[in-house]
Structure 1
């Protein structure tokens, strides 16, 4: 059978919203028009995709199976239209991990690829960026990637593009603040302060588990300046920041390099598995730019006798 992309888009949008009113608003059509498109799709398939009752909208088993491939059909349709029209729209990139300043690394790669047009979109965190990619609202994502619960990252792939050393961020009044370097083990008696909720920063959690840091406290993410104020006011805490990251000239805090081993923060480019770089010129150019910049700036150097990576990040380095 021939699928009608308008009908498929109506189903996918409703499946994401689980509400006919919100789905119709997103598509700028009436609820009646939306219902007709879905009904025609179900009739053509000979299957019920959505259950509708007084409690709301839910996917049937067939609808659940159809949703993932349907999203991929829409992505390929959009790519086909863009290729035929030669629209050359910018590559939409969701970034996350804002306190670690992802834009500086992304900008360095983009600057190395003249003519590459990107449109950065600020993503709140990895789960929200993964959802936006799967919905086709972004073309790629940039930040640290880790496995998401309940398979929320199924249909996505990534490539590690930079390993960045991290420093300890300390109050100037911390007992170790005057050191030239520190080993992670020396921080185990301090409190690890997260710049957001404790369950939101996988890298810090893995660092704490590896180096036996048992005391941890979360924060409300109100930006870098607010977080630096919190660290400055607490001489018993520490956090981690990328070594190359720009920090404001803030009295009361200092950064100390970590060694023996040096923890590395893994930056990755993330995209959908059905969006093959070899058939997507913009994505392919960005990956090539990252590869060239990594070779030039030695972004992917890793020595397990000297450095530390979480297991999943280390595995991403293997061929």
Structure 2
């Protein structure tokens, strides 16, 4: 069969967001249009790629097998367009997730630079972000950088994001104005989105070892809305969120700052040294100017982030 690139792109968007509505918003389409494109793709392939439920969307076995090839097709198409595109094409920025802090950082950049057209792209962190930077399908990516990057890439600290405690209003700590990190020793944080091997899962593994926490990654992960519903219904579960993370409001949950120390998530902006998009230097300058350094007296970072001085 001849694959419809629009249908493949729709499938990748839903696979990333695990929600048809979020994917539709990102692609500027209606949910009905997204559904029709994926139904056409599944009919052509003769298999089911996605299952929809009240809690979100999950990939079937065939969907998991098809996803990396679908990503490659979309990336190759974007690369082809970029090779012949006009110099004033949008600045493409990878933000890992549209609810996370980097989206807010980019929004603030756009408010100060409203002449710059921006395309938001989501992926799965540096594991896919670096290849996208290398092939030119994105101009900048926000992620936690660990270790030494390939010399083709450059990076700067963007935001040391304070953590918050998110739990049911029935949780024993729900009435606090602040929660000391030591008070969570021996407790279990429920974080099914912590993919093994990802830069964010590794951060929480280091936090777990240093402060005696337990991180429960049991899933499946049906998306943030479903996780909030689950937290609201449980008097014991909690999770960590970021200070600028767009958490859906729920009457049964509370968010409380974590202190003494405050764990922070070290976001960096990463780009390819040979990227010549005219708006990229403006984005880097804005992020560098806005950045507020990590405070070792009040905040905590994993040893791997402290050791190289990246967030000093």
Q: Give the structure-1-normalised TM-score.
A: 0.63
Q: Output aligned runs, 1:152-231, within 5 Å.
A: 155-199=152-196, 200=198, 201-231=201-231
Instruction: Please show how residues 10-21 of structure 1 align to structure 2 within 5 Å.
Output: none
Distance in 1 between residues matched to 2:108 and 2:161, nearest whole Å = 14
- In structure 2, do the counterparts of structure 1 residues 228 and 289 end up closer, same or farther at CA, with 3 Å as the change threshold? same
Question: Where do residues 285-296 of structure 1 align in structure 2 (5 Å cutoff)?
Answer: 285-292=282-289, 294=290
Task: Provide the C-alpha distance between the structure 2 equivalents of 1:137 and 1:106, rounded to a whole number of angstroms.
Answer: 18
- Cα distance in 1 for residues equivalent to 2:173 and 2:222: 26
Partner of 2:298: 306
Provide the aligned length of Structure 1 versus Structure 2. 227
State the partner residue of 1:316: 310
Give 1:287 shift.
0.8
Measured against aligned partners, the alpha-carbon deviations of 1:181-224 in whole angstroms (never above 9, x if no partner) come to: 11111112221111414514333222222211135233333222
Spell out, residue by residue over 1:217-269, the C-alpha distance to the aligned partner (whole angstroms, 9 max, x if none).
Answer: 33333222111122223322221111233322202211111111111122211
Give unmatched runs, 5+ long, in structure 2: 1-78
Q: CA deviation at 1:99?
A: 4.8
Distance 1:230 1:100 in 2: 20
> How far apart, in 2, do the equivalents of 1:162 and 1:218 lie?
29
Structure 1 unaligned runs (5+)?
1-74
CA 1:225–1:211 in 2, change beyond 3 Å: closer, same or farther? same
For residue 104 of structure 1, what is the aligned residue in structure 2?
104
Instruction: Describe the shift of the 1:312–1:110 C-alpha distance in structure 2 as closer, same or farther (beyond 3 A).
Output: farther
Please state whether the residue corresponding to 2:121 is helix, strand or coil: strand
Q: Secondary structure at the match of 1:92?
A: strand
- Residue by residue over 1:12-34, the C-alpha shift from the partner in whole angstroms, topping out at 9 and shown as x without a partner, is xxxxxxxxxxxxxxxxxxxxxxx
SS in 2 for 1:159: strand
Runs of 4+ more than 6 Å apart: none
CA distance in 2, matches of 1:135, 1:100: 24
SS of the residue corresponding to residue 255 of structure 1 reads strand
In 2, Cα distance between equivalents of 1:269 and 1:244: 16
Partner SS state of residue 279, structure 2: helix
1:76-99 Cα deviation digits (max 9, x unpaired): xx78x77xxx62111211120445
Q: Give the deviation of 1:300 after TM superposition.
A: 1.4
Deviation at 1:128, TM superposition (A): 1.6
8 Å contact 2:180–2:261 — kept in the other structure? yes
Q: Find out whether 1:260 has 2:260 as its counterpart.
A: yes
Q: Which residue of 1 aligns with 2:53?
A: none
Query: Cα distance 1:111–1:195, how it changes in 2: closer, same or farther (>3 A)?
Result: farther
Give, in whole Å, the separation in 1 of the partners of 2:250 and 2:282: 38
Q: CA RMSD for the aligned pairs?
A: 2.6
User: Could you say if the C-alpha distance between residues 107 and 215 of structure 1 is closer, same or farther in structure 2, counting changes exceeding 3 Å?
Assistant: closer
Instruction: Spell out, residue by residue over 1:60-116, the C-alpha distance to the aligned partner (whole angstroms, 9 max, x if none).
Output: xxxxxxxxxxxxxxx9xx78x77xxx6211121112044535312221122222322
The change in CA–CA distance for 1:238 and 1:317 in structure 2 (over 3 A counts) is same
Q: Could you tell me which residue of structure 2 aligns to residue 124 of structure 1?
A: 124
Change (3 A) 1:195 1:158: farther
3-state SS, counterpart of residue 130 of structure 1? helix
SS of 2:208 mapped into structure 1: helix
Shift of 1:137: 1.8
| 1:133 equivalent in alignment to 2:127 | no
